Structures are given as C-alpha cells and as structure tokens.
Structure 1
Amino acid sequence: MADKIKKFFMKKKVDAKFKMAGKGHKLADTTSTTPSHSSSASDRMPMKRSGLSEESKVAAEAALARLQSKRENPAFNTSLAAVQAQVRKELEAEQAASSKESPPPVVQKTTEEVDVPRNMAVSGVYFKCPLISNDILPRDEWKKNIKTFLYEQLESERSLTACLIIYSCNSNREKVDLCVDTLCKYLENLILHPDEEKFKKIRMSNRVFTDRVLPIEGSLDLLQGAGFIQQKLPNPDGVEEEYLVFDDANYSVDALPAIIDALRSAEPIQLELDRNLQVLLPSQAAAKVQLPASFYTMSPEELKREQQLRSEAIEKSQMLRTKAMREKDELREMKKYKFAIIRVRFPDGILLQGTFSVYERYNEIHDFVEQNLENSGLPFVLNTPTGHKLIPEEDGSKTLIDLRLVPATILTFAWHSSVAEEISRSPNKDVYLKPEVMILVKEL
C-alpha cells in the first residue's frame, strides 16, 4: 500500500515537472537549444550580473537567429497590427488625460464597495488538479470533486483510498494526526499481540474512539480495509453495543504493517494554482482594478473591523515613526491577502496578467513571463514601479511579500542590455507575446 501511495504522488510530481517545462518540451530532449527556467533558484547555474553565461549567450544567439529568420504570418500580423493600433490610440488618450489628472491606481476592495463583475481584475481564484482531471475550478468545487473521486475508488482499493480520504477530506490537521496515531496504535497492538482477544475488538462508544477516530472522515473505511467489521456484542455489563471486530478468518495480521506504512506516509491531494492568464489593453487594465473577496485571508466581518481601524491609521500616519515601524505596518497590511495580481507591461502597451500566491517566489513570475514570450530564449528584466530591477539570481528566492508586490503590482518588461540593441534592429522588434497568447486580447 505504501508503494502505491508513493507511485500515486510520484506521478503528480513528474506531471508537474513536465508541465513546468513548457508545451511540447521533453525533459530527456538534449537537442533543444532553449534552456528551461522552471527549476528552482538553487538548481540554476549562477550568472554574473556583469554579463551572460556562455550557456545563456548561446541560447540568446539562437533566439535572435529565430527572430531574424522568422517568416511573417499574414493572419497574425493583421491581428497584431489592429491590436497595436488600438493600444497606440489608448496610450495617446491616457497620456492626454494624465496631464489633467492622475491615472486610477489599483485599489483594494472594502466592505462598502459593491462587486461589479466588469470592474474585477479577476472573477476569482482558480485551481488545477492534474491527478483527477484537466478542469480549472474554484477551491470549494475541487474539494467536492476530490471527495467524489476518492469515494469512487473506495471499493477497489479501500485501504489506500481511505488513507487519502483521511488526509484530503478533513481540514483540521491536528485532529487528523491524532486520528492517524490512534489508528496506527490499534493496528500495532494486533501485530504485537495477535493472540490477545482484547486487541481484536474496538468498542465504538469508547471515549478515545468517539473523540479521536469517529469524527475523522475515512477512519472507519480504513479500519474496514484493515479487516475490522462492525457488529453488536455484549459489553462487560452484558449490554449489547456496537463493536469493530478484527476478522482474522479473512484477513491476515501480516498485511497490517503495509497499511500502517501507507497511513503514515500518505499526503493530501494537492491543488495547483491556475494563473488565470489574461492579456489586457491599457484601458482594460485601468478599468479592472477591484480584487474579489477570495484574495483575502479575512472574513467580511474581519474586513469591517479593519475598516474601523483606519481612523487609527490616519492618526498614526501623522505621528513621527521609524522606518522599522512603517515596514512592520506594511507587512501586516500585506498579510491580509492570500493571492496577488501581477501585471507585466510590455513596451507596446499590452499587459500580461497572472494570479500568484503571496508566498510564491519571484522565479515563478519570471517563468510565467518567459513561457508566454514569442522568443523565450532571450534574457529580459522586470522593473518594479519604484525602479528596482528584479534579477532571478538575486531576487529569485524572495516571496511576493518580501518584494512588496502584494496585493497588485505592474512590472515593466525590458530586454536585457546584452540583446536589446540587436532586437531593436529586428523587423519583429515589436512582437513580444506568442500568437496563441495575443488572441486572448478581448475587445471592451
């Protein structure tokens, strides 16, 4: 059983690696000249800030060659020209308006604001679970789907499935751990004392059983898979009660160590955050500024309480405070959020948008941008609104909270100085995103 669980989750890890490698890319392919950026910061070869590594130079040269030799696609170029014309028109209007008033900033949702779907940066937070299906759904729907999926497997693989139900269908981890310890103790007693009748029976009215085991979904299925059957027996006072009795006629004690191992090594089925990829025109980005409630760690009641504390914040802002005090308050403010919207603005005015966990690393943002670039082999940098250049070698392992990118930030895209001049001479210099990404641009 333990091996089956390990294989089950090993498949998840392998699938995730292939997913991160990019569409159509094989991990075993040694002929590709485009390096993968899906590995962690610790796995990457260090690169000096003064220039590119030899490997990166080779990749950049290959990408530049592809850029120069690329044949024009009439259908795409026609669409691209229309988009660029629309962007130029909006940028000119935005520039004219900026002389009169400041552009609308990204604002945070309060309890007084009314949800207007078209003003939302995103409609919600969505997840994937490749182990079950290719659907992209909210977390609550996935919880139902995971539960349904596991119970469908229960008859054919009761012990393994029960382990997964215990970990995946119960939210309180402390109670789950206590239940697992108790279940393992029941099974270990049978292994150590196979001939003692008292260890072959579990009284279901026993306080330990009712407090630790019974409330946890999947626990009874686990015991049934281990060989226990439910039946009525007289208790020491002669009154009939419900017991779980080990059926040693049909089940062997020798199989119990594998079940214990499986129970100890199981993990909950994990969900993967979907980026909810969007490509926006400048006017769309300016209009879609509200964040849905699913981005917050607090309930509406807690948000209301926070709103009441704003008057204190105003008073506090008028006080002389140290930098450490201001940073502490800023960090506290950011911890209200579970997710963040990251927008990357390209020189042509188009914005690429994705949803991230506030505890994800900058490397994830860098990889997200690279996966959507038409020339993914070329080095680039992203600049924060304060002008800080985000460099994977220095900032790759920092979280979005560490980098102050929460709850919503617009990063500016620029080619690395080592290739910027050559790209500027290319006829396709204004092409940034892949054609299949550009078609996501929607009219207002």
Structure 2
Amino acid sequence: MAEKIKKYFQKKKTEAKFKLAGPGHKLTEDTAIVGPSKKNQKGAYQPPPANRSVTEANQHAAIAAMARINSQAKSSAFNTSLAAIQAQVKRELEAEKKSELEAMSSSSRGPTTTELEASPLLAAKGVFFKCPLISEEILSRDEWKVKIKEFLIEQLEEERGITACLMIQSCNYNRSKVSDCIDILCKYLENILANPEETKFHKIRCSNAAFRDKVLPLFGAVELLEGAGFRKQTLKHNDADEEFYVFDATNIPEIGTLEFLRDALRSEDRIELELERNLQVLSPSQAAQRCNLPTEFYAMTADELKREQQRKVDAAEKQLELRTKAMREKDELREIRKYKFAIIRVRFPDGLFLQGTFSVYEKFSEVMDFVQENVEDECPNFILSSPTGHRLEETDRDSSLFDLRLVPATILSFQWKDDAMNQVGFLKPEVMVLIQSM
C-alpha cells in the first residue's frame, strides 16, 4: 500500500525537478512511474462485494456449472433451467413469508436502519467503491473516507508536503472552502518566492481572520505549511504574546520546494474512488419483485425525504389540474434530481437480468461498456432499448443517465443488431454462476 503512494510522490518529484531545471534540460535517469489506472481493464471480471472470498469448493462448483452451460449450448438452444427458477421462487416466497412475520412482530417499534439494509426487497445492498491507489477492498464511501484519511496520515513523516496537498483535496468535501484555502496558501508561498528576503512575508499571524476562518479549519492545511518550512512560534505583537507560523528556509531542501507545493495545490490532484458496479444476475421472478432503493441512492437527508413525501401527496392533488407539458417536465426533473445513483437492469431474451449500479452523471457509454464486459460476444453488435421501446443510438452514448431520464432505476431490453444471429447464450459463464448465489 505504501509503495503505491511512494511511486506517486516520486512521479511528482520527477516532474518538479524537470520543470525547475529550465528549458533544454533532460533527465538521464528513467524515474517516470506509471500511476495506477483509474479503470479496470476491459473484460476483467470483478466480483460483487458479497462474493469476495471464494473457497476451493466454490471454484470447482463454478467450473462444473460453466461446463454444463457450455454443453447445453452445444447440444440445444439455451433455456434458463425451469427447475432452477422454480426452486429460486420457492426460496424467495419462503424468505418473503419469514420477512412478513418478522415485520408483524416488530411493527410496534417500527423498522430500524439495520432491518432496512437486511430487507430482501432492496434492489442493492448499498453503494460501494474501490480505490486502487490504496487497496483492492470494496467499501462504502464513509468507510473509504476514514481509510483515506488514516492512510495519508501514515505517509506524513516521509512526504509531508505532497501528502498535505492530497489531504486538503481528498479529505475536505466543501469544494468552495477548499478553493478559498488553496488560494490563501498559494498566496503565502508566492509572496516568499517573489520576495525571499522580505521577512514580513515569513510570518503568518494565527489570529488573522482569513487564516483563522479559511485555512486553519481545513484538514491538511497546517501540515502543508509545515511541509513548506513554517513552524509555529510565540512572538511579541503589539506588546502582547501571539502565535505565528514562521517560515525558515533551513526547514526545506531548497526554495524550489515552495514552487513545487504551489503547483501541486493548483493541480487539484486527489485520491479518487471508483464506483463498484455491484454486478448481479437476476432471474425473472427476482426482477419482478417490487424493490426499494437504499438510502445511499438519495442526495437528500431524512428530513428532506419527509418533505419530499409530503410533496408527493400534494402532487397527487395536482393531477386533477390541467397542466402544460413544460410544467410536467419541470416536475419530472425535480423528481430525479434527488438521486445520486441509479440501478440499471438489462433484460436478455432468455429471461435473465444483468444489474449494475451507476452514478446518475455517468455517460450512457459506461452502461454499454458494462454490458459488453459481461456478454459472450466480443463485438459491440447489440442494441439497448428503453422501456417505451425507444432504441438508444450511438448519439446517446455521450449523454448522461440523468439526461436520458434513466434515473433512479430502469430496465433496458437487449437485442442483437443482426436479427440473423441466433446465439444460444448471452452472459459469460463466469457471470451466469452468480445467479446461483442470489
């Protein structure tokens, strides 16, 4: 884990040395480090969070299942096993009956958050993310916030300056406050760079309003000043003792370090999270259930959701009124803006559904890539159609799910472009086995 961040730091240092060397200077050593890719390689299968630990027995079962699927495909037209679906429906009915009994016994105290998360009627267990720079774990956003902060704190002793830049950008979530803080920090550094001998630029009074309100509260700001050669001292000011951050050039290797840190702050580099698709394969009976969305899908607080519920009651009354198309579209946009994520289900001709989680601002091309990664045919020769039957064309690839109104959940129909294609299987065998664990 630490090795990845070291490579990231080495890359930044190399870029800074090249810049400071002046025009025409070339580095003789090969020190360029390739950072981690932000996307998984296409075609690489990523299991969902629930199936991360795979035993040897599970591997043998998966191999056997793939062999059965392949043999069926060769001998006859593929059809989802009726017996398997009937068994799955039976399990679901039993689980639903058990859930209803538990709900009746606990109705007096009301549903808790834990009961909601464990409900079999949730379309997804939550929203999960990956962070290849740190580890291969799949965690919630809140878990990653803690883990990223702990990880960066561990790196401070070795690379205080650049680590502090990442802390400011990655661990503070009000982008307006981050921008204000960076502007002030860069001003401190630029004043010293422009006037290295002017001592008035070497001191920052802690009681200064801009420093106290816009710099000090942000996580990583003090560490950045320390990485830039500032140290906290008590000095006389107006006949009183006051605390200052005082710059001393002996605390940094060279004055060019300040330029390097300023550029790092301006670059807005941060540790990014990648949305985990939470891939699922659903039988027709599972997809037919009325499923609710987890609270993480909403860009609203609990109080806001209550107000939204009241708004729906008011909206029902509005249905009695004559309303224009513009009024209806405005209400539709207001409705979908409360979501941050979307569930996309793709229905295949054999009755199975492929499900994934997406950001509402991701492009439709990401959905196409997701389907392409999980179907047998390697060529993108398929079409996805909306529930209304509208074919989503190449011109829709750069449109967001929000723009295409595919939020918060939708079912798209899969078909081959070439009607003559009579492929017996659709999903890859390693994806098909996931239906056994649903």
TM exceeds 0.5? Answer: yes
Indicate conservation of the 8 Å contact 1:87/1:282, yes or no: no
- From 274, 284, 287, the counterpart of 1:285: 287
- From 2, 9, 16, the counterpart of 2:38: 16
2:434 aligned partner: 440
The normalised TM-score by structure 1 is 0.76
Give a deviation string over 1:102-150, Cα, whole Å, max 9, x none. xxxxxxxxx9997252111101001111111111111001111111111
Indicate conservation of the 8 Å contact 1:2/1:258, yes or no: no
The aligned amino acid for 1:394 is T
Indicate conservation of the 8 Å contact 2:80/2:351, yes or no: no
Cα drift, residue 161 of structure 1: 0.6
1:74 aligned partner: 67
Q: Is 1:119 aligned with 2:128?
A: no
Q: For the structure 1 residues 321 and 410, does the alpha-carbon distance in structure 2 shift closer, same or farther, using more than 3 Å as the test? A: same
In 1, the alpha carbon distance for the partners of 2:297 and 2:167 equals 27
Listed as ranges, the matches of 1:104-253 within 5 Å are 115=116, 117-237=119-239, 239-251=240-252, 252-253=254-255
The aligned amino acid for 1:242 is E
The aligned amino acid for 2:432 is M
Q: Is 1:365 aligned with 2:367?
A: yes
Q: Give the unaligned 5+ runs of structure 1.
A: 25-71, 94-110
The aligned amino acid for 1:330 is E
SS at match of 2:434: coil
SS at match of 1:430: coil
Q: For the structure 1 residues 435 and 73, does the alpha-carbon distance in structure 2 shift closer, same or farther, using more than 3 Å as the test? A: closer
Q: Is 1:337 aligned with 2:339?
A: yes
The aligned amino acid for 1:15 is S
Cα drift, residue 168 of structure 1: 0.8
Indicate conservation of the 8 Å contact 1:383/1:411, yes or no: yes
Q: For the structure 1 residues 275 and 6, does the alpha-carbon distance in structure 2 shift closer, same or farther, using more than 3 Å as the test? A: farther
SS at match of 1:119: coil
The aligned amino acid for 1:265 is S
- From 422, 430, 441, the counterpart of 2:424: 430
Listed as ranges, the matches of 1:291-370 within 5 Å are 291-370=293-372
In 2, the alpha carbon distance for the partners of 1:359 and 1:253 equals 42
Listed as ranges, the matches of 1:2-41 within 5 Å are 4=12, 11=34, 15-16=37-38, 19-23=40-44
SS at match of 1:15: coil
Give a deviation string over 1:297-345, Cα, whole Å, max 9, x none. 1111111111112232112112111222211111111111111111111
In 2, the alpha carbon distance for the partners of 1:6 and 1:361 equals 34
1:411 aligned partner: 412
In 2, the alpha carbon distance for the partners of 1:263 and 1:378 equals 41
In 2, the alpha carbon distance for the partners of 1:179 and 1:255 equals 19
Q: For the structure 1 residues 136 and 7, does the alpha-carbon distance in structure 2 shift closer, same or farther, using more than 3 Å as the test? A: farther
The aligned amino acid for 1:144 is V
The aligned amino acid for 1:279 is V
Q: Is 1:84 aligned with 2:77?
A: no
Q: For the structure 1 residues 355 and 79, does the alpha-carbon distance in structure 2 shift closer, same or farther, using more than 3 Å as the test? A: farther
Cα drift, residue 394 of structure 1: 1.9
Q: How many aligned residue pairs are there?
A: 369
Q: For the structure 1 residues 174 and 92, does the alpha-carbon distance in structure 2 shift closer, same or farther, using more than 3 Å as the test? A: closer
Indicate conservation of the 8 Å contact 1:84/1:348, yes or no: no
Cα drift, residue 92 of structure 1: 12
Greater RCO (CA < 8 Å, at least 6 residues apart): 1
The aligned amino acid for 2:81 is Q
In 2, the alpha carbon distance for the partners of 1:6 and 1:148 equals 26
2:26 aligned partner: none
SS at match of 1:327: helix
Indicate conservation of the 8 Å contact 2:43/2:374, yes or no: no
In 2, the alpha carbon distance for the partners of 1:174 and 1:5 equals 28
The normalised TM-score by structure 2 is 0.77
SS at match of 2:281: strand
Q: For the structure 1 residues 166 and 378, does the alpha-carbon distance in structure 2 shift closer, same or farther, using more than 3 Å as the test? A: closer
Give a deviation string over 1:351-401, Cα, whole Å, max 9, x none. 10000111111111111101000112250111111011112x121112112
In 1, the alpha carbon distance for the partners of 2:277 and 2:13 equals 28
SS at match of 1:74: helix
Cα drift, residue 79 of structure 1: 8.8
Give a deviation string over 1:187-242, Cα, whole Å, max 9, x none. 122122222222222222222221121111111111111111122222231x3222
In 1, the alpha carbon distance for the partners of 2:322 and 2:88 equals 40
Percent identity over the alignment is 51
Instruction: Please report the RMSD computed on the Cα atoms of aligned residues, expressed in angstroms.
Output: 3.0
Give a deviation string over 1:387-436, Cα, whole Å, max 9, x none. 11112x121112112222111111111111x3x31x32xxxx32111111
